[in-house]
Amino acid sequence: MRTLEAFNKLGISLDLALEAHELLRGATKEEIPGVQEDKESYDYAEVTTVTILNDQGAQIMGKPMGTYITIEAPRIRFESKEIMDDISELLGKKLETLLKIPPDSPILVIGLGNWNATPDALGPNVIDATMATRHLFQYAPEVVGEGLRPVCALAPGVLGITGIETAEIIKGVVERVKPSLIIAIDALAAANISRISTTIQLADTGINPGSGLGNKRIGINQESMGVPVIAIGVPTVVHASVIVHEALSNLNEKWSGNVMTATYAQKITPDLSRELSQSIFQPFEGNLVVTPKEIDDLILNVSKIIAAGISQGMHPGINRGNYQQYLQ
Amino acid sequence: MRTLEAFNKLGISLDLALEAHELLRGATKEEIPGVQEDKESYDYAEVTTVTILNDQGAQIMGKPMGTYITIEAPRIRFESKEIMDDISELLGKKLETLLKIPPDSPILVIGLGNWNATPDALGPNVIDATMATRHLFQYAPEVVGEGLRPVCALAPGVLGITGIETAEIIKGVVERVKPSLIIAIDALAAANISRISTTIQLADTGINPGSGLGNKRIGINQESMGVPVIAIGVPTVVHASVIVHEALSNLNEKWSGNVMTATYAQKITPDLSRELSQSIFQPFEGNLVVTPKEIDDLILNVSKIIAAGISQGMHPGINRGNYQQYLQ
Amino acid sequence: MRTLEAFNKLGISLDLALEAHELLRGATKEEIPGVQEDKESYDYAEVTTVTILNDQGAQIMGKPMGTYITIEAPRIRFESKEIMDDISELLGKKLETLLKIPPDSPILVIGLGNWNATPDALGPNVIDATMATRHLFQYAPEVVGEGLRPVCALAPGVLGITGIETAEIIKGVVERVKPSLIIAIDALAAANISRISTTIQLADTGINPGSGLGNKRIGINQESMGVPVIAIGVPTVVHASVIVHEALSNLNEKWSGNVMTATYAQKITPDLSRELSQSIFQPFEGNLVVTPKEIDDLILNVSKIIAAGISQGMHPGINRGNYQQYLQ
Amino acid sequence: MRTLEAFNKLGISLDLALEAHELLRGATKEEIPGVQEDKESYDYAEVTTVTILNDQGAQIMGKPMGTYITIEAPRIRFESKEIMDDISELLGKKLETLLKIPPDSPILVIGLGNWNATPDALGPNVIDATMATRHLFQYAPEVVGEGLRPVCALAPGVLGITGIETAEIIKGVVERVKPSLIIAIDALAAANISRISTTIQLADTGINPGSGLGNKRIGINQESMGVPVIAIGVPTVVHASVIVHEALSNLNEKWSGNVMTATYAQKITPDLSRELSQSIFQPFEGNLVVTPKEIDDLILNVSKIIAAGISQGMHPGINRGNYQQYLQ
């Protein structure tokens, strides 16, 4: 019941590679061929790096080959300055490991999502907080400090507002601006409530169709953009149907362990989960999300952490001690 | 399973009298002593008036004696001007039936909720859109048109931001301003997804502890305020635990009807529902809500309808044809 | 003193062709070679069409050849529904006269300006209110009503936030989306306080370097974009140095008419105006604007009028009676 | 020409005691009877304390007896973390000197102004950032850290939105909440452009009719509230008529020094200034303000400084090192 297959039946793609891997490995923690997982511990965070090594791994995971770094930091919800600074610094360092370009190569930061929809506004919020420097190199090189690189930033909006595929807008800008790399920020959906606004995923695979909160139909990745794309995502919601599925999975597990109830556990299937969800979620089918009541605050908080982290990761001269003067 | 008792076990109070009454009557639609229900049909709305006639009804319903008018208008989500105008007009007329004060008596409109939390911002949004006239009577009587009454408006904020019980703030203002009646606007939680932003409840009982999205501990009602209080509420969320409960209730019903599964249906109880919810909803227990992704838009839309409706209900001189010049 | 030359000396370009023409013609209303002016009167508006006919006119006016239609509607500040609808309809009709493309050709609407700076947020606000239809033609043609054309919409941000010249972003998108025409919305600076948020200029010349509130260095016009560009602008500020200049010009005029004071009037020159301005405007030199206190409201109001007007002008099937269901 | 009398003729009251005192003292820096001025220098700020000692001083200054502390910090516009922290700390220390109440006495913070009007939103912004603690003492005393006092916070709105005199709302709340002291935050108008968002005034006299951006008709002071009121204000605008007056004053001064022009300098009077202003400022008379284009940013920035500063001043346990975890 708690399997990747079940999620597929519910029509929900798992945005976090970590969650997909966990589901695939199951309770027995079996190894998945073509997929490697490494864990590190920090004061306020666990970092899990899932590497999809080959096509076999990609097919099983339903995600492209590449590196997926997940920072889990449950305590960032409490907004302590020290914890926030720690996580930003860690994010910066992890981002650096994925940047395979010279320190003066230009980067385009893209904030995906809809600034008028709270849980989808993560990307635009990060853009608002990130300092663009590219124009300074061009028009006022004398004010550019040591250790900065040219960075430009765009919040292209969503298809429903622009009428243009987001990938088309970005591709057009990429062709004019010619960055060496793109960093794309996006709000994700998680399978687990506890990850909302506390987990950050970096992936060197870019953004692929169907992922994230908005309905992207065209990928934003090396293939479509012609330059490497690093995706940074934070779960801001859990799909409502996941809640139903989780409840039934828990019931299934609870009953499976008992001789008396095991035959009924078998009746609790993904199909049943989908059937029950559909009847409850009319007329919003597929469009319902679960969020904490304080989601507006949580989004602002994690947006600041991301902006601080990518500034430190992109610019050699920005660090934990001075990042605040480079944010807006 | 789908009973008022079950909801109580989950710690969820039903804000809509309509929903409480439905649950109590159950599938067999039995009469509830001390409670009367009347229905009317309109082009774009069904209106249900639940009247709690006596103490017995109040005790069974878990709500004070009084009149609860519910306007269900599923089509207002589509933002047609005509439908919106229809529902505003209907709201105005229903409000008028509850106003037992002379047409020139002053009214205080209170927008409850937190303007920084999207689903809880209904009240403050309505205040932003409503035109205050009380100061005009005082300082510029010559500009006050025919058919207006003195109206003042306040969005007092929430306990977590002000550090003051909302009822205390309002009581303080009431003692200075001495309105003849209070209209209090609040975001509600529903038991049914389809009611989010499509249902409007008017109640002449005011607002009672524990209701609404914010955690009010002191009522805002005739008893505490000394003047009649009409509450106008719109469900903007469904508590996440209701979703789990609904899924299990559906499973329970599905199985109950069948000889083979009926014994297992009995195992699906409110206690089980609570147990499964708690394990899923860590660490946000009690604080998770289900909303449509487009909740920001829906709230703005229904806020305009409420502002237009109460303006028509409060001022004899404002109607469907001219309300727009009295909104802000 | 009240001459185009004087404004040039102050480093202020006049965004409204109407104002430039008025200054050139002076009190004696002399004809300007190569420039034609026509006036029409409506219930709530005066429309002035300034046509720059040839190179001579362009050079004198300091603006490219083309048609500049100005709608002056001082009463739209009062937010009457009827007046707003009148002006939107008029704007739609005037826009139609400038659209020389078939009714099904795609249009790209660009909202210039900074959504985080109130007086510069006109463009992004209009984008927020305008309905994109291009993606519907692509993905859901069955929901597209009669009389709509493909419209897409973009708020590209400003150089200081994106690090990219706005014209570069637009050019990139134009190359992908291939619209037949661009409509660019921008906040302007006026020379006259009374025009703030009450005057709308349409120009078939696009947007040229140095115009508008943001500092655009590259034009957004047929030359740079390869398709016709219609600019729609509304003054939202007056530069503070214009106020000083106006005061001194008034003094100059007052004194010029009198034998006793005329010699002193001669001392009140544009150079003096610039000198006095500079000493007052430290440390914000050039960056100070004059606005009414209620500018936030005025911008929202006129943004709605523009969005309603361009929707009527672009789509044959949208009119005064039904536009509201096509706004967001 | 540059006299307090001239400002009175223009109908402009000077919100900063420092500016009123400067004008009174004039170029010759004469002593004003009943008024004392002391200056201190800090790394990033000059602090001027103007004390109005007696009735004579009050009458000349047009302000009540009391202490007016002005922090001038031109560099806070550059948003360096160090400078911002310095000024917040300094504000906290100066606030402490005015608090004549025990460290556990409750304080009510009032954010005056209109949250929908950028330059007037200073007060509400400070409330949004300030942590209320009063309810924690009541409902969760175990989470209240050492060195905190009960603080509550209210943004009452403005007369035009509420229809209620702001002083009435506050008085009503004061009677219920019974604070020992009120701190009222308000946006001010300055006479000098350079003070916009860089100058902070603390006054133990509260807020008196006619001061600030909104038109308050009733004071918020010890007399009306029954408890001491400390006003904290930041200039966010300069009235447009001040600009005209400044330009003419500069011209007057320039000419006064010269035998040839001195007779004409005499013609440049406050009456002339008023006359010229009125003709320019139609139809916004009295309602036009001058702000930097980036006013939205400046207000947010200085709001954070004020929130950080008053938190340090009010709570013995909050200081430069830990204030961020007490802001919202």
What does the pLDDT look like over A219-274, one tens digit per residue? Answer: 999 999 999 999 999 999 999 999 999 999 999 988 988 888 888 888 899 899 88
**D44-49 average pLDDT score:** 97
Residue of C324, C326, C328 for testing the chain B interface, max B β-carbons within 10 Å: C324
Tell me if B299 sits within 8 A of B197, measured CB to CB.
yes
Query: What pLDDT is stored for residue B303 in this prediction?
Result: 96
Mean pLDDT, residues C76-92: 89
From the list D116, D155, D161, the residue facing B157 with the nearest CB is: D155
Question: What confidence score (pLDDT) does residue D302 get?
Answer: 96
Read off the amino acid at residue D207. Answer: I
Confidence class for position C215, pLDDT limits 50, 70, 90: low
Q: Which residues of C touch A132 (CB under 8 A)?
A: 160-164
Tell me the C-alpha distance between D48 and C7, whole Å: 40
Q: Contact D217/D158 with Cβ under 8 angstroms?
A: no
Under an 8 A CB cutoff, do B287 and A294 touch?
yes
Question: Cβ separation of A162 and C153 shorter than 8 Å?
Answer: yes
Q: Which residue has the higher pLDDT, C2 or C193?
A: C193
> Mutating which of A135, A139, A182 best tests the C interface, going by the most C Cβ atoms within 10 A?
A135
* Percentage of chain C exceeding pLDDT 70: 98
Would you say residue A196 has pLDDT above 90? yes
The stretches of A80-145 forming alpha helices (DSSP H) are 81-98, 122-129, 134-139
Q: Which residues pair with B241 in a beta bridge?
A: none
Are B71 and B91 within 8 A, CB to CB?
A: yes
Mean pLDDT, all residues of chain B: 93
Cβ–Cβ gap D134/B164 under 8 Å:
yes
Question: Could you say which of B80, B297, B325 has the minimum Cβ distance to residue C79?
Answer: B325
Residue D159 has pLDDT above 90, yes or no: yes
pLDDT tens for B80-109 read 888 999 999 999 999 999 999 999 999 999
Would the CB atoms of D118 and C295 count as touching at under 8 Å?
yes
- The pLDDT, as a whole number, for residue B40 is 97
Residue B171: pLDDT above 70? yes
Give which of C304, C164, C178 is closest to C234, Cα–Cα: C304
Structure-token pair, residue C192? 């006259």
Residue whose tokens read 């530069």 = C239
Q: Does C11 score more than 90 pLDDT?
A: no
Distance (Å) from the C-alpha of residue C170 to the closest C-alpha of chain A?
Answer: 8
Do the chains contact at C164 and A156, CB–CB below 8 Å?
A: no
Best D135, D136, D138, D224 member to test B by mutation, with max B CBs in 10 Å, is D135
Residue B315: the pLDDT is 97
CA A282/CA A288 separation, integer angstroms: 10
Q: Which residues of C touch D212 (CB under 8 A)?
A: none
3-state secondary structure of D230: strand
Nearest neighbour of D164 by CB, restricted to B115, B165, B173: B173
- Do A295 and B244 make contact, defined as CB atoms within 8 angstroms? no
Residues with Cβ within 8 Å of B136's Cβ and at least 6 positions away in sequence, in order, are B143, B144, D163
C236: domain range? 4-327
CB-side neighbour CA atoms (13 Å) of C189: 24
The C-alpha atoms of residue D213 and residue D237 are separated, in whole angstroms, by 8
- Cβ contact, residue pair D165, B133, below 8 Å: no
List residues in chain D touching C: CB distance below 8 A.
74, 116-120, 193-194, 196, 213, 237, 240, 243-244, 246-248, 250-251, 261, 264, 267-268, 272-273, 276-277, 279-284, 287-297
Interface of chain D against chain B, CB under 8 Å?
115-116, 127-128, 132-136, 150-157, 159-165, 168-169, 171-177, 328
Task: Determine the average pLDDT of the residues in C233-250.
Answer: 93
The whole-number pLDDT of residue B11 equals: 83
A64 has a pLDDT exceeding 70: yes
pLDDT score for D13? 83
Q: Which of D243, D289, D293 sits opposite C280 (nearest CB)?
A: D243
B and C: number of Cβ contacts within 8 A = 10
Q: Which tens digits make up the pLDDT trace of B31-64?
A: 999 999 999 999 999 999 999 999 999 999 999 9
pLDDT of residue D4: 86
CATH code for position C177: 3.40.50.1450
* C116, C157, C168 ranked by CB distance to A176: nearest: C168
Q: Would you call D293 and C280 a contact, using CB atoms and an 8 Å cutoff?
A: no
Q: How far is D284 from chain C (nearest CA, A)?
A: 7
* Residue from the list B213, B248, B293 with its beta carbon closest to the beta carbon of A289: B293
Nearest to C164 among A161, A169, A173 (CB): A173
Q: Report CB contact under 8 Å: A172, C168.
A: no
- Range with lowest mean pLDDT among A61-65, A162-166, B272-276: B272-276
Given a cut of 70, is residue D189 above it in pLDDT? yes
Mean pLDDT for the stretch of residues C230-243: 95
Of the candidates B247, B277, B293, which has its C-beta nearest A248's C-beta? B247
Query: For position D215, what pLDDT does the model report?
Result: 65
Q: Percent of chain B scored above 70 by pLDDT?
A: 98
Quote the percentage of chain D above a pLDDT of 90.
71
Nearest CB neighbour to C325, from listed B80, B324, B325: B80
Q: Which chains touch D (3 or more CB pairs under 8 A)?
A: A, B, C
The full DSSP string for B150-191 is -EEEE----HHHHSS-HHHHHHHHHHHH--SEEEEEEEEEES
Residue C262: strand pairing partners: none
Distance from CA of C115 to the nearest CA of A (A): 10
Backbone φ and ψ of C55, nearest 5°: -60, -40
Q: In this structure, how many other beta carbons lie within 10 angstroms of the beta carbon of residue D283? A: 12
Lowest average pLDDT, out of B231-245, C101-115, C116-130, D70-84, goes to D70-84
pLDDT score at B35:
97
ipTM score above 0.85? yes
Q: What is the pLDDT of residue C127?
A: 97
- How many of the other CB atoms lie within 10 Å of CB of A285? 14
Residue C222 pLDDT grade (very low, low, confident, very high; cuts 50, 70, 90): very high
Which residues, other chains included, contact C122 with Cβ-Cβ below 8 Å and sequence gap of 6+?
C111, C113, C185, C186, C187, C234, C236, C299, C302, C303, C306
Check B244 against A240: CB less than 8 A apart: no
> Is C117 in contact with D296 (Cβ distance < 8 A)?
yes
- Cβ pairs bridging C and D (under 8 Å): 121
Count of domains for chain A:
1
CA–CA min distance D194, chain C (Å) = 6
Q: Per CB distance under 8 Å, which residues of A are interface residues toward D?
A: 79-81, 297, 322, 324-325, 328
Contact D163 B132 (CB under 8 A): yes
Summarised one tens digit per residue, pLDDT across range D121-143 is: 999 999 999 999 999 998 888 88
Lowest-pLDDT range of A207-221, B45-59, D300-314:
A207-221
Q: Give chain D's mean pLDDT.
A: 93
pLDDT value at residue A324? 84
**Measured distance CA(C82)–CA(B322) in Å, rounded:** 10
CA-based nearest residue to C200, from C301, C82, C60: C301
At residue C210's C-alpha, the angle toward residues C204 and C212, to 5°, is 65
Per-residue confidence (pLDDT) for residue C327, from 0 to 100: 82
List phi, psi (to 5°) of A293. -60, -35
So what's the pLDDT on residue C213?
A: 75
pLDDT surpassing 80 at residue A36: yes
| Dist. CA D249–CA A272, nearest whole Å | 82
Residues of chain C found within 8 Å of residue A173, distances taken between Cβ atoms: 164, 168-169, 172-173
pLDDT at D287: 86
Q: Is the pLDDT of residue D35 over 70?
A: yes
Q: pLDDT grade, residue B215 (50/70/90)?
A: low
By Cβ distance, the residue of B79, B297, B324 closest to C81 is: B324
Rounded to the nearest angstrom, the minimum Cα separation between D51 and chain B is: 33
pLDDT at B78 over 80: no
In terms of CA atoms, which chain A residue is nearest residue B261? Answer: A264
Q: Give the closest residue to C66 by CA, choosing from C225, C233, C206, C205.
A: C205
Picking from D81, D131, D328 by the largest number of A CB atoms within 10 A of its own CB, the best residue to mutate is D81
Query: Given an 8 Å threshold on Cβ–Cβ distance, is D193 in contact with C284?
Result: yes
Average the pLDDT over C68-88 and give the result: 90
Please identify which residue in the block is written with the tokens 């902070």.
D200
Pick the range with the lowest mean pLDDT from A82-91, C261-270, D56-65. Answer: C261-270
Name the interface residues of A facing C (CB cutoff 8 Å): 115-116, 127-128, 132-136, 150-157, 159-165, 168-169, 171-177, 328
Tell me which residue of C146, C136, C128 sits closest to C327, measured CA to CA.
C128
In this prediction, residue B314 carries a pLDDT of 98
Written as one letter, the residue type at B47 is V
> What subunits make at least 3 CB pairs under 8 angstroms with B?
A, C, D
For residue A215, the model assigns a pLDDT of: 65
C-alpha distance from B41 to closest chain C C-alpha (Å): 25
Rounded-to-integer distance, Cα B1 and Cα B250, Å: 9
Please state the length of chain C.
328
Q: Which of C118, C193, C296 sits opposite D281 (nearest CB)?
A: C193
